[in-house]
Structure 1
Amino acid sequence: MSLSVFDILAEQRIADALRRGEFDHLPGAGRPLVFDDEPLLSPEQRMANHILKNAGVTPPEIGLRREIAALRARLETLDGEARARARRELGQLVLRLAELQRR
């Protein structure tokens, strides 16, 4: 991918503004960006998620993803039979998530 003259000029101007500190006092400076929309979802699914979020309802996929992440983190601290049980539970959660995503 080659850059056009306009792309190069824009990049130079942005770099100059950064050096001068023109972006230092913007709202949210130094904090991570928060993206509410999932760019890989269809517009219909994004709208449905937005409505659910405003209603205070979490989609089942989100709850399962949180459970999976928590179990994966806990799995590192387990050994023996407890680790084997956690792996089986993790497998079941992953399968449930896959089923929800197929719908």
Structure 2
Amino acid sequence: MHFFEQLANERIESAMEDGAFDDLPGAGKPLPFKAGDPVVPKSLQTSGYTPPVVILIRKLEDLRVALRDESDRDRRRALLTEIAETDMRRRIEIERAVTDATRGR
């Protein structure tokens, strides 16, 4: 990954952890895909398909809320492990999407 991409990703993740995106218009609603959007085939758009990376981002948000509210040390450790694993899966999904897009899939 290029330096600026890594820097941008770190800043975005930091802002997400700080809650900078929590009150955006449309939060919690499906992404507004447009006809012909190359991200998702039209048949999947109309079926209510949610990309895996979006599902993982939502799970991360829920885990972070649970971590914030948890006081038990062992449960916090388990939540931190689950957050790390979920974040790794999110990163893999993003890399897969980028790879597929560059290959024209």
Please report the TM-score for the alignment, with normalisation by the length of structure 1.
0.54
Q: Give the match for residue 76 of structure 1.
A: 68
* Gapped regions of structure 2 (runs ≥ 5): 1-23, 97-105
* Gapped regions of structure 1 (runs ≥ 5): 1-31, 38-42
| Greater Rg over alpha carbons, structure | 1
Number of equivalences: 66
1:94 maps to which of 60, 64, 87? 87
Report deviation, 1:58. 1.4
Q: Determine what percentage of the aligned residue pairs are the same residue.
A: 22
* Structure with higher RCO (Cα < 8 A, 6+ apart): 2
RMSD: 2.6
**Following TM superposition, where does structure 1 have runs of at least 4 consecutive aligned residues deviating by more than 4 angstroms?**
32-35
Question: What amino acid is the match of 1:89?
Answer: E
